[in-house]
Amino acid sequence: MEKYFIRDAVVEDIEQIIKISSADNRWLPEKYQEIIEFNIPMIVICNRDNTTLVAFIVYIIFMDELRILNIGVDKFYTRNGLATRLLEITFSNAREQNCRYALLEVKTNNIDAINLYIKLGFVCLCIRKMYYEDRSNAYLMQLIL
């Protein structure tokens, strides 16, 4: 992880975040603006000189629950452990705030992400039918922190 720089997101990152988001998990710019405006945690990984953004995660903590809202890695940088690193940082922040478990939804056909979450210890709690705008299904997954 030496060649990367991890920091909180700023407004100037939004364009690059949208660029690296896959069509499936791309949000509108206004949504990212709100996230920054309302101090919702969003962490990014940049290359060492801090010019190219290569990964991001958005999450919220409510009471003892951590919710992963979005995570994405530039497709040229995948399989380098970047998503794992972001999730580990997030888990550590959540544990410090006394969270007991993490929850997330993932499309049932998103094998890459499902493999990632299973590797980190998430288990599937249930299927949420027609959860997404395109009416596709989600798995609700949980990790005890």
Ligand X SMILES: CC(C)(COP(=O)(O)OP(=O)(O)OC[C@H]1O[C@@H](n2cnc3c(N)ncnc32)[C@H](O)[C@@H]1OP(=O)(O)O)[C@@H](O)C(=O)NCCC(=O)NCCS
Which 36-55 positions form the footprint of ligand X (CB under 6 A)?
Answer: none
Looking at residue 74, the DSSP 8-state letter turns out to be -
- Between CA 106 and CA 117 the distance in angstroms is 9
110/136 with CB nearer ligand X: 110
Residue 2: Cβ within 10 Å count = 5
> Minimum Å distance from CB 37 to ligand X?
23
84 contacts ligand X (rule: CB under 6 A): yes
80/136 with CB nearer ligand X: 80
Where would I find the H helices in the chain? 14-20, 29-37, 82-96, 111-119
82 contacts ligand X (rule: CB under 6 A): yes
15/24 with CB nearer ligand X: 24
> Minimum Å distance from CB 91 to ligand X?
13
80 contacts ligand X (rule: CB under 6 A): yes
Which 94-133 positions form the footprint of ligand X (CB under 6 A)?
Answer: 106, 110, 112-113, 115-116, 119
93/132 with CB nearer ligand X: 132
DSSP β-bridge partners for residue 65: 62, 101
50/84 with CB nearer ligand X: 84
Looking at residue 70, the DSSP 8-state letter turns out to be E
Q: Is 100 helix (H, G, I), strand (E, B) or coil?
A: coil
- Burial of 80-101, coded b for 16+ CB within 10 Å and e otherwise, reads bebbebbbebbbeebeeeebee
In the complex, which residues of this chain contact ligand X (CB under 6 A)?
Answer: 22, 25, 71-73, 78-84, 106, 110, 112-113, 115-116, 119
